[in-house]
Structure 1
Amino acid sequence: MRRVLSSSEQDKIVELAAKGDLTQDIADRFGVTRQAIRNVLRRRGVPGRRVGKLTDEQRREVVDRFEAGEKPADIAAAFGLAEPSVRGLLDRRGVDPRVNHTLREDAFDDLSDPRACCWAGFVFTDGSVSRRHGHKGSVSIGLAIRDYGHLESFRNFLGSTHAISVSNQGRTCQFSVRSDHLVDRLLELGRYSDKISTRLFFSRDFWRGVVDGDGSIGAYRVGNAEALRPQFRLCGREALLTHFLDFLDVHGIVGLSVRPHKSIFNVGTNSGPAAEIIELLYVGAVVALPRKAEMAWRILNEATKDFVML
């Protein structure tokens, strides 16, 4: 039976159309067909959106979705366009629509690979894993421009040819891919959950990725002492930090606690325990954020300089 839209719903439809929302998106929101939405707009005297007439924001989304791996035909269907219109838009924006991007969608399937564990940890803290109705799942990471090389390493790990974009007047960089399988796998492993995969829990590589994302390590001098005092900090969700302390306990590092800090939580320690954690996570690391790996080496091998936290 055909659903009848109330007067208030029709008012909302007109409002959404005026903002530039796509007919299909409005139809999905109200659980009706696109034709039903067109009929409402026609009766209210709202001219239909001409095919190919997109807002600037929608044009940017077309480019972003293509660079994240979505096919022009799928993008065209989502925006109610003809495929040649999408290809023409991409060409005008300097994006070659003939490029078929590659992506290793099984990158996180084998957790015996230390690289997979480390990058999972990094995504858990510095990455976003998301879904949106009518779109493929998205995995993205945004970093300060100084860590551009690390974002390139993540792209290489995924076997991806997707672009890394630079924004905020050259201060930040962003990488994003679309893959339902990658999203499903990362959610299954525990991204956004209070529980994480057992395999990840026991992996020092995973926890190094977590620290690369939301941790800081450093060392400083106390008084006239020659030796530096190492320092370790990690912030994040309470459940994840509790798992981290349990992991440290397995390795004989005890006595730490999770403490509230503003809207999140943190774990911190100095001296011997900090050095033990840094050694456990970073010595012989296959993958690590370069500036933190360098800091870890200096903390563990040099004793004559004061280091800032990284």
Structure 2
Amino acid sequence: MTRVGRRLTPAEGEEILARATSGDSITAIGLRYGVTRQAIRGLLRRNGVPPRRAGTLTDAQRSEVVRRFLGGASLSQLAADFGVTAPSVRGLVIRRGIEIRSVSQGLRHDAFDSFEPDNCYWIGFLFADGCVSYRPGHIPQISVGLAERDRDHLVALRNYLGCDNSISRTSPTHGSCQFSVRSHRLADRLVELGRYKQAIDERLVVSRDFWRGVIDGDGSLGIYRRPAPSTRSFAQFRVVSRRHVMDAFVAFLEREGITGLSVRPHRSIFTVGTTCGPAERIAALLYAGAATVLARKAETAARMIARQRGGA
């Protein structure tokens, strides 16, 4: 039941904006967070995010979708073929009384139990870009949405988790895609490690792989030209998250000899940023020799590292 009048936390507001941008419907978001459709619409309007407009299927198309699903077509493929979202197809199939096929064969429910580099990286990435959802009567869901250009990174996450779940094209208009799995153990582990708490497990705080995952999710790296008439350029680093995450990141940098950074408010969240030499040192600390990375950020980090080493 929707709880009228419940106030959303700043973190929930950010997650709702991300879900709306990824293609989730206002109804689905309202049910997930226990607020009214009007509250969701107001939040989107205040932040300049348009409500999702999904295509409408004819009766004949609905019948064809059901027929093809029973014949083995995936939700994501049907969504792409008919110009709607995967959640829309899922809803149609469920309303017709058809059981959704389980596609989590091989899922590694223990993937976050230890602190090897790859484990720490993906935990960090899901801390930044992922959402853990609990609904009564359902297995907890971990979902993450990215721009279509980063789809290969969701493939890498799926491979790491050992399953074959589909990667849905959630918004044909905005070019986004989404991946999700359901697991009590994985969801509980992410929460236990500090995804929504005010303290992050210290074994993650000291891991450069964890922080690289956070940066790949919610950070930015860049090299920019200075205003004319200068012909020189400068490196820039920035990351946003909740206050306790940013405090832990600054503490990690200080232990690694990168000092002088502060946590600053940024709308409803917080940010840490710097330029020039410190930005290049952070890139080298997190990305030099790293195996698991978001490709486009790794490319920028490599250029920043080259500058630090005198190769610019």
TM-score bracket for this pair, using the shorter chain length:
0.5 to 0.7
- Tell me if the contact between 1:166 and 1:174 (Cα under 8 Å) persists in the aligned partners: yes
- Whole-Å separation in 1 of the counterparts to 2:103 and 2:158: 17
Quick one: structure 1 residues 192 and 99, their matched pair in 2 at CA, closer, same or farther if it must change by over 3 Å?
closer
1:292 and 2:304 correspond: no
**What SS does the corresponding residue of 1:109 show, helix, strand or coil?**
coil
Contact 1:114 1:286 in 2 (8 A): no
CA gap of 1:99–1:246, structure 2 versus 1, over 3 A, is closer
| Partner SS, residue 271 of structure 2 | strand
1:193 to 197, 222, 229: 197
- In structure 1, what is the equivalent of residue 214 of structure 2? 210
1:14 matched to which residue of 2? none
Which of 74, 92, 98 is the equivalent residue of 1:86?
Answer: 98
Q: CA RMSD in A?
A: 3.2
Distance in 1 (alpha carbons) for counterparts of 2:259 and 2:196? 26
The two structures have a TM-score, normalised by structure 1, of 0.66
1:27-106 → structure 2 map (5 Å cutoff): 85-87=97-99, 90=100, 97=101, 101-106=105-110
Alignment check: 8 A CA contact 2:104 2:181 kept:
no
Structure 2 distance, partners of 1:183, 1:144, is: 23
Structure 1 residue aligned with 2:126: 123
Q: 1:100 to 1:162 in 2, by over 3 A?
A: closer
Residue 277 of structure 1, CA deviation: 0.5
**How far is 1:299 from its partner?**
1.9
> Contact conserved, 2:130 with 2:144, CA < 8 A, in 1?
yes
> 1:301 deviation in Å?
1.9
Asked whether the 8 Å contact 1:228–1:304 carries over to 2, the reply is: no
The structure that has the greater radius of gyration is 1
Q: Which residue of 2 aligns with 1:133?
A: 136
Q: Which residue of 1 aligns with 2:40?
A: none
Q: Give CA deviations for 1:26-51 in whole Å, capped at 9, x if unaligned.
A: xxxxxxxxxxxxxxxxxxxxxxxxxx
Q: In the alignment, which residue of structure 1 is the partner of 2:281?
A: 276
- Secondary structure at the counterpart of residue 213 of structure 1: helix
Q: Partner of 2:257: helix, strand, or coil?
A: coil
Amino acid in structure 2 at the alignment position of 1:146: R
Deviation at 1:227, TM superposition (A): 5.7
**Partners in 2 of 1:175 and 1:167 — Cα distance?**
10
Return the offset for 1:219.
Answer: 1.3
Q: CA deviation at 1:85?
A: 4.9
Q: 1-side partners of 2:293 and 2:103: how far apart?
A: 31
CA distance in 1, matches of 2:244, 2:183: 27
Instruction: Quote the residue 1:162 is aligned against.
Output: 165
In the other structure, the counterpart of 2:247 is: 242
CA contact (8 A) 1:126 1:142 kept: yes
1:155 to 1:271, Cα distance in 2 relative to 1, 3 A = same
Aligned mates of 2:275, 2:145 — CA distance in 1: 29
Q: What amino acid maps onto 1:253 in structure 2?
A: I
SS of corresponding position for 2:260: coil
Q: Structure 1 residues 194, 131: CA separation in 2 closer, same or farther (over 3 Å shift)? A: same
Cα deviations by residue, 1:89-112 (Å, 9 ceiling, x for unpaired): x5xxxxxx486722011011111x
Q: 1:288 to 1:86 in 2, by over 3 A?
A: same
1:180 matched to 2:192? The reply is: no
Name the % identity.
49
Give 2:114's aligned residue.
110
Aligned counterpart, 2:260: 255
Q: Which amino acid aligns with 1:86?
A: I
Three-state SS of the structure 2 residue aligned to 1:128 is strand
**Matches of 1:204 and 1:215, distance apart in 2:** 14
Q: Residue 146 of structure 1 is aligned with which of 138, 149, 152?
A: 149
Give the secondary structure class of the aligned counterpart of 1:284.
Answer: coil
Q: 2:177 corresponds to which letter in structure 1?
A: C
Letter of the 1:165 counterpart: S
Which blocks of at least 5 consecutive residues in structure 1 are unaligned?
A: 1-55, 68-83, 91-96, 306-310
Residue 102 of structure 1 aligns to a residue whose secondary structure is coil
The letter for the 1-side match of 2:265 is: P
